[in-house]
């Protein structure tokens, strides 16, 4: 609902809010879409969502016999074709973790190597974590609306409820965070601020932007983009599509995956593969740094 409200307020009502529905012609829709693409600097995904919403509203008017036909007739205009997102290298993930500081470090690791979304991290609790098994259970999410209100509920899709097996190197990081920073109650929040407040987008955003700059990542790089690092590592290990979808909490595509199953051993294998790849790259980087040190000292 929050997304639709924002799209209406920013993109649809300023153009058509004062119009009678039967005055809107296909040419008007084409002009509106072209202006939206220009005004949003080519943000095709946002414009596509706005177009789909406008088309749905006008189709309701058609169904209710308030309009004879739907003026939204631009072929492919509602299809989202998001630009390819940046993928952070392992060393960049570690640079982010170092720059953002001890309290927030675990968010970087869980975002990158466990494919957790920020709204899932915001509602992660002690009872959702099994350090002996190296598993994090995603049972809830707390997305933050544009008005600052947080809505606690189930993850964004049925597939969002899942068990994520962690690479071994993440477990000590998580154990340390639980000891130092998490709420102490049995069902306490994993992520809280310096004053004990729950995770908020505004306060974390300032820390994120500063760390992103320090790590040398572009301004377009979002926290959500950390998920691509872990997903890419898992894919490179030869994981099945269904395994990747389970790990990332994605529910589509559907039809061709009905008879595929992602078992516990497959998820554990994915975590082991990510662990091995990260350790290897971290080791190579350390060896290179030592070699540079010896070169300059000699």
Would you state the pLDDT for residue 285? 85
Q: Is the pLDDT of residue 287 over 70?
A: yes
pLDDT-derived band of residue 297, with 50, 70 and 90 as boundaries? confident
Q: What is the arithmetic mean of pLDDT over 226-234?
A: 82
Q: Is the pLDDT of residue 259 over 70?
A: no
Residue 118 to residue 139: CA distance in whole angstroms: 14
Dihedral sign, Cα of residue 222, residue 227, residue 230, residue 233: negative
**Mean pLDDT estimate for the chain:** 85
Which domains, ranges and CATH numbers included, belong to the chain?
2-63 (no CATH), 90-287 (1.10.443.10)
pLDDT tens readout for residues 6-60: 889 889 999 999 999 889 999 999 999 999 988 887 678 889 999 999 999 999 9
Would you state the pLDDT for residue 198? 82
Would you state the pLDDT for residue 252? 52
Q: Is the pLDDT of residue 254 over 60?
A: no
Nearest Cα neighbor of 90 from 210, 197, 215, 211 is 215
Q: Is the pLDDT of residue 294 over 50?
A: yes
Q: What is the arithmetic mean of pLDDT over 192-216?
A: 88
pLDDT-derived band of residue 209, with 50, 70 and 90 as boundaries? very high
pLDDT tens readout for residues 50-83: 999 999 999 999 999 899 999 999 998 988 765 5
pLDDT-derived band of residue 244, with 50, 70 and 90 as boundaries? low
């Amino acid at each position: 609902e929050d997304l639709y409200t924002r799209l209406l307020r920013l993109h649809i009502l300023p153009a058509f809010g004062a119009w009678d529905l039967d005055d809107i012609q296909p040419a008007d829709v084409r002009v509106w879409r072209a202006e939206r693409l220009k005004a949003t600097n080519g943000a095709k995904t946002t414009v596509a969502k706005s177009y789909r919403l406008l088309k749905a509203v006008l189709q309701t008017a058609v169904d209710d016999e308030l309009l004879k036909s739907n003026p939204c007739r631009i072929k492919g205009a509602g299809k989202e074709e998001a630009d390819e997102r940046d993928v952070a290298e392992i060393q960049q993930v570690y640079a982010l973790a170092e720059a953002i500081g001890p309290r927030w470090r675990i968010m970087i690791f869980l975002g990158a190597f466990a494919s957790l979304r920020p709204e899932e991290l915001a509602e992660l609790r002690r009872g959702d974590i099994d350090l002996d098994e190296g598993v994090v259970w995603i049972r809830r999410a707390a997305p933050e609306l544009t008005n600052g209100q947080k809505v606690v509920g189930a993850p964004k899709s049925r597939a969002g409820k899942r068990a994520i097996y962690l690479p071994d190197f993440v477990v000590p990081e998580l154990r340390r965070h639980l000891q130092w920073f998490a709420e102490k109650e049995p069902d306490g929040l994993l992520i809280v601020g310096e004053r004990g407040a729950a995770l908020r987008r505004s306060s974390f955003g300032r820390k994120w932007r500063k760390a992103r700059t320090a790590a040398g990542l572009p301004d377009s790089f979002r926290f959500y983009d950390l998920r691509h690092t872990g997903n890419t590592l898992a894919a490179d290990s030869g994981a099945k599509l269904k395994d990747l979808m389970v790990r990332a909490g994605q529910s589509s595509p559907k039809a061709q995956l009905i008879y595929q199953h992602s078992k516990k051993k497959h998820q554990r294998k994915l975590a082991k593969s990510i662990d091995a790849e990260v350790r290897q790259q971290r080791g190579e980087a350390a060896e290179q740094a030592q070699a540079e040190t010896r070169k300059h000292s000699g």
